[in-house]
Amino acid sequence: MTTSPEFAITTKDMNLWYGTFQALFDINLRIKKGIITSMIGPSGCGKSTFLRSVDRINERLGYVRITGAVDVFNQNIYAPSVELSQLRKQVGMVFQRPNPLPISIRDNVLFGYRIHNDSGRKISKSDEEAVLEDALRQVLLWDQVKDRLDQKASVGLSLEEMQKLCIARLLPVKPSILLMDEPCSALDPKGTAAVEELIWELRGRYSILIVTHNMAQARRASEECIFMLMGKVVEHTSTEDMFVAPAHQETANYIEGRYG
Protein backbone atom coordinates (compact mmCIF):
# COMPACT_ATOMS: atom_id res chain seq x y z
CA MET A 1 0.00 0.00 0.00
CA THR A 2 1.48 3.33 -1.02
CA THR A 3 0.27 6.31 0.89
CA SER A 4 1.95 9.64 0.98
CA PRO A 5 1.57 11.97 3.93
CA GLU A 6 -0.78 14.14 1.95
CA PHE A 7 -3.60 11.89 3.14
CA ALA A 8 -5.19 12.22 6.57
CA ILE A 9 -7.28 9.05 6.49
CA THR A 10 -6.68 6.08 4.23
CA THR A 11 -8.60 2.83 4.25
CA LYS A 12 -7.94 -0.38 2.34
CA ASP A 13 -10.59 -3.03 1.80
CA MET A 14 -12.36 -2.02 4.96
CA ASN A 15 -15.41 -4.07 5.89
CA LEU A 16 -17.50 -3.61 9.01
CA TRP A 17 -20.16 -5.78 10.61
CA TYR A 18 -22.61 -5.05 13.41
CA GLY A 19 -23.07 -8.61 14.63
CA THR A 20 -24.07 -10.41 11.44
CA PHE A 21 -25.18 -7.29 9.59
CA GLN A 22 -22.55 -5.94 7.23
CA ALA A 23 -22.64 -2.14 7.25
CA LEU A 24 -19.55 -1.27 5.20
CA PHE A 25 -18.27 -3.05 2.08
CA ASP A 26 -14.71 -2.78 0.76
CA ILE A 27 -14.16 0.85 1.59
CA ASN A 28 -11.06 2.22 -0.14
CA LEU A 29 -10.73 5.89 0.61
CA ARG A 30 -7.95 8.43 0.64
CA ILE A 31 -9.08 11.53 2.42
CA LYS A 32 -6.74 14.46 1.87
CA LYS A 33 -5.04 16.35 4.62
CA GLY A 34 -5.93 19.95 5.36
CA ILE A 35 -9.13 20.18 3.35
CA ILE A 36 -12.82 19.70 4.05
CA THR A 37 -14.28 16.46 2.77
CA SER A 38 -17.99 15.86 2.98
CA MET A 39 -19.80 12.54 3.02
CA ILE A 40 -23.29 12.35 1.61
CA GLY A 41 -25.75 9.55 1.03
CA PRO A 42 -29.17 8.37 2.12
CA SER A 43 -29.89 7.38 5.74
CA GLY A 44 -28.36 4.07 6.72
CA CYS A 45 -25.73 4.09 3.99
CA GLY A 46 -22.89 3.83 6.51
CA LYS A 47 -21.65 7.43 6.65
CA SER A 48 -21.84 7.73 10.42
CA THR A 49 -20.55 4.20 10.86
CA PHE A 50 -17.46 5.09 8.86
CA LEU A 51 -16.98 8.27 10.86
CA ARG A 52 -17.30 6.43 14.14
CA SER A 53 -14.70 3.87 13.20
CA VAL A 54 -12.08 6.55 12.59
CA ASP A 55 -11.98 7.46 16.30
CA ARG A 56 -12.91 3.90 17.30
CA ILE A 57 -15.95 4.96 19.29
CA ASN A 58 -17.89 2.16 17.60
CA GLU A 59 -16.11 -0.37 19.75
CA ARG A 60 -18.15 0.57 22.78
CA LEU A 61 -21.01 -1.38 21.27
CA GLY A 62 -19.05 -4.57 21.69
CA TYR A 63 -20.41 -6.46 18.69
CA VAL A 64 -18.59 -4.55 15.95
CA ARG A 65 -16.10 -6.40 13.76
CA ILE A 66 -13.78 -4.72 11.27
CA THR A 67 -11.50 -6.18 8.59
CA GLY A 68 -9.09 -4.36 6.31
CA ALA A 69 -6.98 -1.36 7.24
CA VAL A 70 -7.83 2.08 8.60
CA ASP A 71 -4.84 4.39 8.72
CA VAL A 72 -4.58 7.87 10.12
CA PHE A 73 -1.45 9.60 8.82
CA ASN A 74 -0.12 6.21 7.72
CA GLN A 75 -0.50 4.71 11.19
CA ASN A 76 -2.80 1.73 11.51
CA ILE A 77 -5.24 2.83 14.21
CA TYR A 78 -6.37 -0.73 14.90
CA ALA A 79 -2.83 -1.88 15.76
CA PRO A 80 -2.55 -3.35 19.29
CA SER A 81 -0.09 -0.65 20.33
CA VAL A 82 -2.59 2.14 19.71
CA GLU A 83 -3.71 3.92 22.89
CA LEU A 84 -7.32 5.05 22.44
CA SER A 85 -6.76 8.15 24.50
CA GLN A 86 -3.95 9.28 22.15
CA LEU A 87 -6.00 8.46 19.06
CA ARG A 88 -8.93 10.51 20.32
CA LYS A 89 -6.62 13.37 21.10
CA GLN A 90 -5.61 13.43 17.43
CA VAL A 91 -9.09 12.74 16.08
CA GLY A 92 -11.85 14.90 17.53
CA MET A 93 -15.55 14.26 17.05
CA VAL A 94 -18.43 16.74 16.83
CA PHE A 95 -21.89 15.26 17.29
CA GLN A 96 -25.24 15.92 15.73
CA ARG A 97 -26.75 17.25 18.92
CA PRO A 98 -24.47 19.71 20.70
CA ASN A 99 -23.41 17.99 23.91
CA PRO A 100 -21.54 20.42 26.14
CA LEU A 101 -20.72 18.88 29.51
CA PRO A 102 -22.78 20.15 32.46
CA ILE A 103 -19.84 22.16 33.79
CA SER A 104 -18.75 25.75 33.17
CA ILE A 105 -17.83 27.04 29.73
CA ARG A 106 -14.25 27.39 30.92
CA ASP A 107 -14.08 23.81 32.20
CA ASN A 108 -15.63 22.51 28.98
CA VAL A 109 -12.96 24.09 26.82
CA LEU A 110 -10.16 23.04 29.15
CA PHE A 111 -11.48 19.52 29.81
CA GLY A 112 -9.45 17.77 27.15
CA TYR A 113 -6.43 19.98 27.76
CA ARG A 114 -6.39 19.02 31.42
CA ILE A 115 -6.81 15.28 30.96
CA HIS A 116 -4.10 15.20 28.31
CA ASN A 117 -1.65 17.23 30.38
CA ASP A 118 1.36 14.92 30.60
CA SER A 119 3.92 17.51 31.64
CA GLY A 120 3.72 16.12 35.17
CA ARG A 121 2.93 19.46 36.75
CA LYS A 122 -0.13 21.58 37.20
CA ILE A 123 -1.07 23.85 34.32
CA SER A 124 -0.59 27.49 35.30
CA LYS A 125 -3.58 29.81 35.43
CA SER A 126 -2.17 32.14 32.77
CA ASP A 127 -1.47 29.20 30.51
CA GLU A 128 -5.07 28.01 30.87
CA GLU A 129 -6.41 31.49 30.18
CA ALA A 130 -4.36 31.72 26.98
CA VAL A 131 -5.49 28.30 25.76
CA LEU A 132 -9.10 29.12 26.61
CA GLU A 133 -9.09 32.42 24.75
CA ASP A 134 -7.30 30.95 21.75
CA ALA A 135 -9.78 28.09 21.39
CA LEU A 136 -12.83 30.31 21.78
CA ARG A 137 -11.41 32.85 19.33
CA GLN A 138 -10.79 30.11 16.78
CA VAL A 139 -14.46 29.17 16.88
CA LEU A 140 -15.59 32.82 16.78
CA LEU A 141 -17.22 32.54 20.19
CA TRP A 142 -14.91 34.55 22.43
CA ASP A 143 -16.75 37.85 22.20
CA GLN A 144 -20.12 36.29 23.04
CA VAL A 145 -18.97 34.35 26.10
CA LYS A 146 -15.93 36.14 27.49
CA ASP A 147 -17.99 37.69 30.30
CA ARG A 148 -19.64 34.47 31.43
CA LEU A 149 -16.91 31.87 31.28
CA ASP A 150 -17.90 30.43 34.64
CA GLN A 151 -21.54 29.99 33.71
CA LYS A 152 -22.76 26.48 33.09
CA ALA A 153 -22.36 25.59 29.43
CA SER A 154 -25.51 23.52 29.21
CA VAL A 155 -27.84 26.42 30.05
CA GLY A 156 -28.04 29.90 28.62
CA LEU A 157 -26.23 29.19 25.36
CA SER A 158 -28.02 28.90 22.04
CA LEU A 159 -27.67 25.62 20.14
CA GLU A 160 -25.33 27.34 17.72
CA GLU A 161 -23.12 28.59 20.54
CA MET A 162 -23.16 25.15 22.15
CA GLN A 163 -22.05 23.52 18.93
CA LYS A 164 -19.25 26.04 18.54
CA LEU A 165 -18.23 25.30 22.11
CA CYS A 166 -18.18 21.59 21.33
CA ILE A 167 -15.77 22.33 18.49
CA ALA A 168 -13.74 24.66 20.69
CA ARG A 169 -13.14 22.06 23.37
CA LEU A 170 -11.44 19.79 20.82
CA LEU A 171 -8.89 22.39 19.78
CA PRO A 172 -6.65 22.87 22.86
CA VAL A 173 -5.17 19.37 22.51
CA LYS A 174 -4.17 20.19 18.93
CA PRO A 175 -6.00 17.50 16.99
CA SER A 176 -5.15 16.94 13.35
CA ILE A 177 -8.52 15.60 12.25
CA LEU A 178 -12.02 16.81 13.07
CA LEU A 179 -14.91 14.44 12.41
CA MET A 180 -18.33 16.04 12.27
CA ASP A 181 -21.51 13.99 12.30
CA GLU A 182 -24.22 16.24 10.84
CA PRO A 183 -23.01 19.16 12.96
CA CYS A 184 -25.73 21.53 11.78
CA SER A 185 -28.82 19.37 11.67
CA ALA A 186 -30.03 20.53 15.10
CA LEU A 187 -29.52 24.20 14.21
CA ASP A 188 -31.72 26.79 12.54
CA PRO A 189 -30.62 28.31 9.19
CA LYS A 190 -28.82 31.20 10.85
CA GLY A 191 -26.94 28.86 13.18
CA THR A 192 -26.14 26.57 10.28
CA ALA A 193 -24.66 29.45 8.32
CA ALA A 194 -22.57 30.49 11.31
CA VAL A 195 -21.22 27.00 11.97
CA GLU A 196 -20.52 26.47 8.27
CA GLU A 197 -18.61 29.73 8.23
CA LEU A 198 -16.62 28.48 11.20
CA ILE A 199 -15.86 25.14 9.55
CA TRP A 200 -14.59 27.01 6.54
CA GLU A 201 -12.42 29.14 8.86
CA LEU A 202 -10.84 26.03 10.35
CA ARG A 203 -9.93 24.66 6.94
CA GLY A 204 -6.21 24.19 6.37
CA ARG A 205 -5.40 23.97 10.08
CA TYR A 206 -7.32 20.74 10.45
CA SER A 207 -8.40 17.95 8.15
CA ILE A 208 -12.17 17.93 8.37
CA LEU A 209 -14.52 15.10 7.47
CA ILE A 210 -18.15 16.12 7.67
CA VAL A 211 -21.16 13.86 7.31
CA THR A 212 -24.26 15.68 6.13
CA HIS A 213 -27.77 15.09 4.90
CA ASN A 214 -27.87 18.53 3.46
CA MET A 215 -26.60 18.52 -0.11
CA ALA A 216 -26.53 22.26 -0.37
CA GLN A 217 -24.25 22.24 2.65
CA ALA A 218 -21.93 19.66 1.13
CA ARG A 219 -21.75 21.78 -1.97
CA ARG A 220 -21.14 25.05 -0.13
CA ALA A 221 -18.82 23.86 2.58
CA SER A 222 -16.56 21.16 1.23
CA GLU A 223 -13.79 20.74 -1.31
CA GLU A 224 -14.07 17.03 -1.90
CA CYS A 225 -17.16 14.93 -1.62
CA ILE A 226 -17.79 11.23 -1.03
CA PHE A 227 -21.10 9.68 -2.05
CA MET A 228 -22.02 6.46 -0.27
CA LEU A 229 -24.86 4.06 -0.94
CA MET A 230 -25.76 0.83 0.85
CA GLY A 231 -22.44 0.62 2.64
CA LYS A 232 -20.31 1.21 -0.44
CA VAL A 233 -18.45 4.22 -1.73
CA VAL A 234 -19.92 5.12 -5.11
CA GLU A 235 -17.93 8.19 -5.92
CA HIS A 236 -15.17 10.29 -4.38
CA THR A 237 -14.23 13.39 -6.28
CA SER A 238 -13.98 17.14 -6.00
CA THR A 239 -17.23 18.65 -4.79
CA GLU A 240 -17.56 20.77 -7.87
CA ASP A 241 -17.23 17.79 -10.22
CA MET A 242 -19.68 15.74 -8.20
CA PHE A 243 -22.42 18.32 -8.29
CA VAL A 244 -21.79 19.51 -11.84
CA ALA A 245 -20.90 16.25 -13.57
CA PRO A 246 -21.40 13.16 -11.44
CA ALA A 247 -19.72 10.10 -12.90
CA HIS A 248 -22.35 7.61 -11.75
CA GLN A 249 -26.05 7.40 -12.38
CA GLU A 250 -26.80 6.70 -8.67
CA THR A 251 -24.96 9.85 -7.67
CA ALA A 252 -26.88 11.90 -10.17
CA ASN A 253 -30.17 10.43 -9.00
CA TYR A 254 -29.40 11.18 -5.35
CA ILE A 255 -28.19 14.69 -5.99
CA GLU A 256 -31.28 15.48 -7.99
CA GLY A 257 -33.37 14.24 -5.11
CA ARG A 258 -34.89 11.19 -6.76
CA TYR A 259 -34.31 9.21 -3.56
CA GLY A 260 -32.78 9.67 -0.13
Partner 1 sequence: MFEAAPINLQNEQVQNRFRLMFGGMMVILIIPVVIILATLVIKGWPAISWTFLFTDPTNGMTAGGIFPALFGTIWLVVVSLLASVPLGVAAAVYLSEYAPDNMLTRMINLATINLAGVPSIVHALFGVGAFVIFFRFGTSILAASLTLAIMTLPVIIVSSWESMQAVPRAFREACWNMGATRWQTIRTVVLPNAIPGILTGVILQVSRAAGETAPIMFTGAAMFLPFLPNSVFDQTMALALHLFVVATQVPDIPESLPFGVALVLVGIVLIMNTLAIWFRMRLRGKKKW
Residue 126 phi/psi, 5-degree rounding, is: -65, -35
How many other C-beta atoms can be found within 10 angstroms of the C-beta atom of residue 190?
Answer: 10
Per CB under 8 A, 159 contacts partner 1 = no
Among residues 92, 183, 231, 246, which is the contact residue for partner 1, using CB under 8 A?
Answer: 92
Minimal distance, residue 216 CB to partner 1, in Å: 27
Q: Which is nearer to partner 1, 64 or 101 (CB)?
A: 101
Beta bridge partners of 211: 39, 181
CA dihedral 143, 144, 148, 154 (to 10 degrees): -140
Total site size for partner 1, rule CB under 8 A: 30
Per CB under 8 A, 183 contacts partner 1 = no
**Relative orientation angle of helices 125-138 and 105-115, to the nearest 10 degrees:** 110
226, containing H or E segment: strand 224-229
Query: Measuring CA to CA, how many Å separate 246 from each of 39, 142, 172, 241?
Result: 15, 41, 39, 6
Among residues 33, 42, 57, 140, which is the contact residue for partner 1, using CB under 8 A?
Answer: 57
Per CB under 8 A, 106 contacts partner 1 = no
Q: Which is nearer to partner 1, 151 or 237 (CB)?
A: 151
Which among 19-27, 101-109, 127-135, 222-230 is the span making contact with partner 1, rule CB under 8 A? 101-109
Which among 2-10, 73-81, 162-170, 252-260 is the span making contact with partner 1, rule CB under 8 A? 162-170
**Which of 211, 153, 203 lies closest to 185, judged by CA?**
211
Per CB under 8 A, 87 contacts partner 1 = yes
Q: Which is nearer to partner 1, 84 or 244 (CB)?
A: 84
Judge contact between 30 and 7, C-beta under 8 A: yes
122 secondary structure, DSSP code: P
Per CB under 8 A, 85 contacts partner 1 = yes
Per CB under 8 A, 202 contacts partner 1 = no
The b/e string for 138-175 (b: 16+ C-beta within 10 A; e otherwise) is: bbbbbeebeeebeebbbeebeebbbbbbbbbbbbbbeb
Per CB under 8 A, 78 contacts partner 1 = no
Minimal distance, residue 4 CB to partner 1, in Å: 27
Among residues 39, 170, 221, 234, which is the contact residue for partner 1, using CB under 8 A?
Answer: 170
Residues at the contact surface with partner 1, assessed by CB under 8 A: 55, 57, 60, 62, 84-89, 92-93, 95, 97, 99-103, 111-112, 115-116, 152, 154-155, 166, 169-170, 173
